[in-house]
Amino acid sequence: MLPFIDLATQQARIRPQIDAAIARVLDHGKYIMGPEVAQLENELCEFVGSKHCITVSNGTDALIASLMALEFGPGDAVITTPFTFFATVEAIMSVGATPVFADIDPHTFNICPDEIVKAIVKTRQDGRLRLRAIMTVDLFGLCADYESINQIAKQNNLLVIQDAAQAFGASTPDGRRAPTHGLVGTTSFFPAKPFGCYGDGGAVFTDDDELAETIRSIRVHGKGADKYDNIRVGQNCRLSTMQAAILLEKLKIYQSELDARETVAAMYSQHFKRLNEQQNHDATIGVPQTPADNQSAWAQYTLRLKNREQIAAQLKKHGIPTTVYYRTPSHLLGACRKLGYETGDFPNAELAANEVLSLPFHPYMNKETISIVLTSLKTTVGR
């Protein structure tokens, strides 16, 4: 069976450098907050164009630490998307705040600016919650429409918190890279992400000096002058030195991987557009759309298919793995039941959940492996 994500080939490319980096950590023995952590933070800032980077233990803690630093709590509301991994919503609920959902753009899968405006109006008319922020998610590697979202936020005195767990290094028409589009942005270094380590990891980015200092305090139990001078309630959410050392080596090849992801995505899309021209309307494949002058990080290559389950089953018989991100929108998960949402509240997200199918995708796919997927899919769709 083809690999869905090929980390082995990437590792083979830089294995000597990875081994040397791990050896350096073993030699100096500073496993917690060693020199590689600060070096990584500096290099990540340079890569995306941010003033501050604070590495943490995972992407969820990056969101939680950000919300804690901004003093979100009970009675506060955060507008976000229902079509994302639960961690986004979980972070909001973990600090006692309330997620308020706004439907997605059916073409990009990201939160829709027009739906954000509707959610703002509805929440303020209801009057029970203090609306404080918009938490975006750059799904499948594509940045949300930040030109519109930041304008809406400014008009309504709201903060923008960017969850770029799947989109580190993606860019918008103004040249800004994720996650630098809001007051604070976060990412994840989970191994399957475009820029991942060999375990859990994450980071927070901001240009706000005071906010950065507060997040640095929070990640070490709310420390002040030192770890025994606790000036606030915090977390224990530091990135390990070993993972920082690995990420430093991966960062050296990351831009080339982003470029390769773009090439693989283009090859997929060209073939699917041709295949659509050969099929009847009922078999049309929904091809990912990237707005002009945006560069996606292509965390996944995700199609829309009316007969998804049948096609996934047939591809599996051909040795082609597929994955569904995400079968159940957040507003319909059991953990969100108390929020009072029902089926039909966010039709675009719900329809996407029933149609999306992600194909094998990574920067080391070649024409032969892509051809295997395409041939199998053409055979399956044509049935």
127: left (phi over 0), alpha (psi -120 to 50) or beta: left
Q: What does the pLDDT read at residue 133?
A: 98
Q: What does the pLDDT read at residue 199?
A: 97
Nearest-10 Cα torsion for 86, 140, 275, 366: -120
Q: What does the pLDDT read at residue 259?
A: 98
Domains detected in the chain: 7-250 (3.40.640.10), 254-381 (3.90.1150.10)
Q: What does the pLDDT read at residue 227?
A: 87
Q: Give, rounded to a whole angstrom, the gap between the first and last alpha carbons of the chain.
A: 22
Measured CA to CA, the distance from residue 353 to residue 265 in angstroms comes to: 21
Q: What does the pLDDT read at residue 358?
A: 98
Q: What does the pLDDT read at residue 378?
A: 76
Q: What does the pLDDT read at residue 280?
A: 61
Measured CA to CA, the distance from residue 77 to residue 100 in angstroms comes to: 6
Q: What does the pLDDT read at residue 277?
A: 80
Nearest-10 Cα torsion for 12, 259, 263, 368: -10
Task: Pick the closest to residue 217 from 237, 240, 245, 188 (CA basis).
Answer: 237
Q: What does the pLDDT read at residue 382?
A: 58
Q: What does the pLDDT read at residue 276?
A: 82
Contacts of 294 (CB under 8 A, 6+ apart): 142, 143, 170, 171, 172, 173
Q: pLDDT of the chain along its 383 residues, tens only?
A: 899 999 999 999 999 999 999 999 999 999 999 999 999 999 999 999 999 999 999 999 999 999 999 999 999 999 999 999 999 999 999 999 999 999 999 999 999 999 999 999 999 999 999 999 999 999 999 999 999 999 999 999 999 999 999 999 999 999 999 999 999 999 999 999 999 999 999 999 999 999 999 999 999 999 999 989 999 999 999 999 999 999 999 999 999 999 999 999 999 999 988 888 876 655 578 999 999 999 999 999 999 999 999 999 999 999 999 999 999 999 999 999 999 999 999 999 999 999 999 999 999 999 999 999 988 887 776 55
Q: What does the pLDDT read at residue 383?
A: 53
Q: What does the pLDDT read at residue 17?
A: 98
